[in-house]
Structures are given as structure tokens and as C-alpha cells.
Structure 1
Amino acid sequence: MAEQLYYHVDGDLVPASEATVSVDDRGFRYGDAAFETLRAYGGTIFAWDAHCERLERTCEALSLEHGLTAADLRGRIDETLVANDLADAYVRLSITRGVQPGKLTPQPDVDPTVVVYTNPLPRGGLAGESVWDDPATVETVTTRRVPDEAIPAVAKTHNYLNGILARAELSAGADEALMCDLEGYIAEGATSNLWFVRDGELYTPTIDGPVLPGITRKIVLALARDAGIAVHEGSYEPADVHGAAEAFLTNRTWELRPIATLDGHAIGGGPVTERLSRRYDERVERTCYQ
């Protein structure tokens, strides 16, 4: 890794200590921006095409026509990794609507602000190690997930106040906040998707509700079905998970993280979680390191 980190800001590599955006930028003023969290394994961005597609869905939901190509964005990411001498890393790509007149209504002419920043992570894959030290302590919170009719769940934006309020409810030492929808059914964690196992079968909240369609979630669904594990996507209450045989969370950085406890109920991982984690590591190893 380089002695100091460099970020990619509007086409230029700058030291992290000098990386700035305007206070008039709509991403700062209103959270009017799209982003993706990615992982580089061995210098390769895992599931890049899926991230690109989701980024475009977010921009469409925001009516943000940034005019940048996938190749341009990928080039900026690769330049950032090289500048920081990083092969295994956390990467965040953000596109804001840029600076516009101080009105809430977005203007059609966009000069986007594009920022890429990165931080080192351990090697992944079969020879890798987890970024988390222990299984997660999870608590169901009273903050409800914003309805899809208010802010589309497909839109991964800078406006993370919903998740911040959920995390603010957590007890000291808890790792993740589990949010329900307005009807009381589990939606997702503040930054993760939820899974649980009963009788050897896998369950996860449906994305028909206010649930971000996580890319890691989609990969795990495919891995489970390829392994012959029955998968159910539906509506579940926290009580359905309290007595589960296994439970885990997924996101791009954590990959698959077992849940130690949910609301004080001991759960933990198990054979299904371990099997899927192994298959995920095999996928990473095959596509990024070999």
C-alpha cells in the first residue's frame, strides 16, 4: 500500500488529505447522489457488471443523467487502486448531480461530481480472512424501513439517514440494526441483507418489499440453488428468526457474516452458512485470483 492514500476526485488523483468537494454540491446539500460499494480481490473488481447495472438503476431512479460510460468509471477505479498500490481493497464510487443553483428542484444540465476512494482489506477467497472478527450481534430497532413508494429501495443513494437512525438505536457493542417495514415484517439491516435457516432450508425477505436487491444477496441465492438448498423469499417477522437454526447477514464487505444473537436470542452459524461461505470463497477465488 502507498504511504498515503489517494482518492480520485473529478478525474484527478489527489492525496486523501486534500480531497474535497464543493459545499454547494447537491450530494452534500441533499444526499442527491448515487454510489456503489465494491471489493477488489487481487486487483479485480468482483461482480463489476452487476454493480454497474445497479448504479445505472439508481441514477435512473434519481433522473441523474451523468453522461459517463462504464469504461470511464472503471478506469477511474483502476487508477485509484494502482495509485494506492492496492490489490485487495474496499472501493466506493460516488456520482453526485454536482453543483447547481441553490434550489431543491434538480436541473437537467448535470456536471457530475465523481469520487472514488479506497481502503485496504485482507485477501479474500479460499486463502483469505474475514474483515469481521466475530459473528454479529444484531438488534431489531423501532426505526422502520422507508417505504418503496417514498424512496425506491433499488436506489442506493447518499441519503443514509434511515440507516443512521436505526444504528443510533443500538446498544453498546451491537453490530447491526435490523429494520422492519411499516407492517412489521423484516426488511433488511442498516447495511445488510438477512438470511436464516430452518430444517436445512434457507429463508430471506423478499425484495418485493422495501429491500435493497443486494448483489451479494443475488450471488448467495444462486449459490444456494446450485447447491440444491431450498430457498424461500417471503415476509417474515423477527420472531421467525429468533428460533432459527442458523442466521447470517450479507453485504459486499462482510460477504457472509453469521449472526451470534438477534435480540438476545442465540443463533449462530452452522452447516448451511459454512457451505455457502465456502462456495462464495470459491467463486471469488475462481473469478479474481486464478
Structure 2
Amino acid sequence: MTDDPIYHVDGDLVPASEATVSVDDRGFRYGDAAFETLRAYGGRIFAWDAHVERLERTCEALSLAHGLSAADLRARIDETLAANDLADAYVRLSITRGVQPGKLTPAPEVDPTVVVYVSPLPRGGLEGNPVWNSPATVETVETRRAPDEALPATAKTHNYLNGILARAELAADSDEALLCDLEGRVTEGATSNLCFVRDGAIHTPTTDGPVLPGITRDIVLELAREDGIPVHEGRYEPADVLEADEAVLTNRTWELRPIATLDGHAIGGGPITDRLAGLYDERVEESCYRAE
């Protein structure tokens, strides 16, 4: 990959130094846009169908009828990876409502702005290395997760102020903010989902609350069930996490990242975390590196 990466902007491959989006674009003005964070392993996008489905749910929640097919979007991603000569990479796909008159109410006709950018990541799978250097230091923050009635939790949008405000509270040496809902129950990290282990079972905040249904989270829970590990989705207090035997954060880039400490209390990973991380690596290896 060159010092000036190649981005895909509205159908064209352009150097990052020349990539621009209009200041009148609604994604810039209002955060009126959907996005997905993906990973390419060995040149293949992992869990592509799940990402497409979530992107569609986000666009439906935003009433953003962009008119683009999954095949078109995938082609733009593949072209961007090829242009940067990347096989193992972070991939971000964004679709905004495009340039419209400068008023809050969106126009029904949409000429979307589509941007794909990529950056190199280590190899994943059984022979890979994690992106993170150490287990995460996590803090419970005062900022509350926006309620689902205000901003749909299932929508993955450019409006990340909730997470930004949460991260702004962190001490300099902390890695992630853990947010609670308005009732003080644990929801998720600023950019991650939470799972913890007690008495041999996986526990995770339910997506019936204001929790983004993370694709990595879903895969981890699926792997746990297939391996006979009990899974409980419920509503938990921070104290429940502090009493955990193991705790882990999940997102597409980190995959599974153990929580070293929460609010200064040591937790760490353990045998179930290690087992699930191994199963996840096997899934990546089989789906991407060994796929024909």
C-alpha cells in the first residue's frame, strides 16, 4: 500500500490526498449517513451477507432509499482493495443521502454519496495476530447510551456523538468506554459489544435495549451455542460485570479483546474467552483463507 492510499468516492478511485466530499453533503451537515466497518481476510470480506443485511436495516431506519445493489457495493470494495494491493484490511463503506438543499427535512429523491476506504491490518485466522497489543482497560462513563426511542440502536450511522462524548471522559491510558442506559444498566462500549463469563456461561446485554447488534457479537454467541456454552442475553448492572470470571469486548476490528480491568477492577480473559477466540479464528480461516 502506498503512502497515499486509494479511496473509492462516488464510483471513482482517487488518491486519499485528492478525495473530497461536498460541504453540502448531508453526511457532513447532519451525520445523515449509514456505514459498515468490515474486515478483509485474504482478499475476502468476512460475513458479507450479515453486513449487507445490517446496512439495509440502517438505511430503512433512516428512510434512505439509495438504490444501490449489494453487488455494486461489493464491487466498489473489491476495486478499492485491489487498487491498494491489500488482502488483509480494515474496510469502511459509507452511504450518505448526498447533496441536498440546506434544510433539515430530507428530500425523497436521493443521489447518494458512496465512499470506501481501506487500511492494512495483520493477517487473521489461525496464523494471524490480533490488532490490539494488550487486553483492554475499560471505564464505566457518565454519558448514557441514547435510548432506542430517540435514535434506533439498530442503525449504524455517521452520528457518533454519543460514543465520542463517552470516549472524551476516559483517562489517557484507557481503551474503551462502557455505557449504561438511562436506568443504569450496562449496554455496550463506544465501539464494541460486551460479553462476560460467570459460572461457565456467557452473558451479554440484550439487544432489546439500546444495543447495536454487532456482527462479531452475533458470531461469538453462535459459536458459543454450537460449542455447548450456555448463553444468556439479559439486563445487567455494572456490578454484575465486576463480579465476572472473564470479560471480553467484541467488534469487527478487535475481534475478541479481553477486558483487563473495568473501573480499576481486574477481570481478564480465561478458558472460555480463549476457546471462543480460537473458534472465531477457525471460522475466519475456513471462510476466507481456505475458501475456494
Q: TM-score range by the shorter chain?
A: over 0.9
Aligned residues of 1:26 and 1:96 also touching (Cα < 8 A): yes
Pairwise CA RMSD = 0.5
What does 1:113-128 correspond to in 2, within 5 Å?
A: 113-128=113-128
| Count of paired positions | 290
1:246-267 CA-partner distances (Å, limit 9, x unpaired):
0000000000000000001100
CA distance in 1 between counterparts of 2:42 and 2:256 reads 19
Q: Is residue 202 of structure 2 the alignment partner of residue 171 of structure 1?
A: no
CA distance in 2 between counterparts of 1:191 and 1:13 reads 28
1:107-164 CA-partner distances (Å, limit 9, x unpaired):
0000000000000000000000000000000000000000000000000000000000
Please name the residue that 2:190 is paired with. 190
CA distance in 1 between counterparts of 2:125 and 2:261 reads 26
Aligned residues of 1:41 and 1:89 also touching (Cα < 8 A): yes
Moved over 3 A (4+): none
1:51-110 CA-partner distances (Å, limit 9, x unpaired):
000000000000000000000000000000000000000000000000000000000000
Aligned residues of 1:2 and 1:83 also touching (Cα < 8 A): no
Please name the residue that 1:242 is paired with. 242
Amino acid at match of 1:166: A
Q: Under a length normalisation based on structure 2, what TM-score does the superposition of the two structures give? A: 0.99
Q: Which consecutive unaligned segments of at least 5 residues does structure 1 have?
A: none
Note the C-alpha offset of 1:172: 1.2
Please name the residue that 1:34 is paired with. 34
Note the C-alpha offset of 1:3: 4.8
Please name the residue that 1:206 is paired with. 206
Aligned residues of 1:135 and 1:257 also touching (Cα < 8 A): yes
Q: Under a length normalisation based on structure 1, what TM-score does the superposition of the two structures give? A: 0.99
Please name the residue that 1:216 is paired with. 216
Note the C-alpha offset of 1:199: 1.0
Please name the residue that 1:258 is paired with. 258
Note the C-alpha offset of 1:4: 2.8
Amino acid at match of 1:199: D
CA distance in 1 between counterparts of 2:245 and 2:57 reads 35
1:197-220 CA-partner distances (Å, limit 9, x unpaired):
111111000000000000001100
Please name the residue that 2:142 is paired with. 142
CA distance in 1 between counterparts of 2:3 and 2:102 reads 39
Please name the residue that 2:21 is paired with. 21
CA distance in 2 between counterparts of 1:243 and 1:57 reads 35
CA distance in 2 between counterparts of 1:117 and 1:166 reads 25
Amino acid at match of 2:131: V
Please name the residue that 2:285 is paired with. 285
Please name the residue that 1:85 is paired with. 85
Amino acid at match of 1:274: D
Note the C-alpha offset of 1:2: 3.7
CA distance in 2 between counterparts of 1:4 and 1:122 reads 19
CA distance in 2 between counterparts of 1:123 and 1:209 reads 34
Amino acid at match of 1:13: L
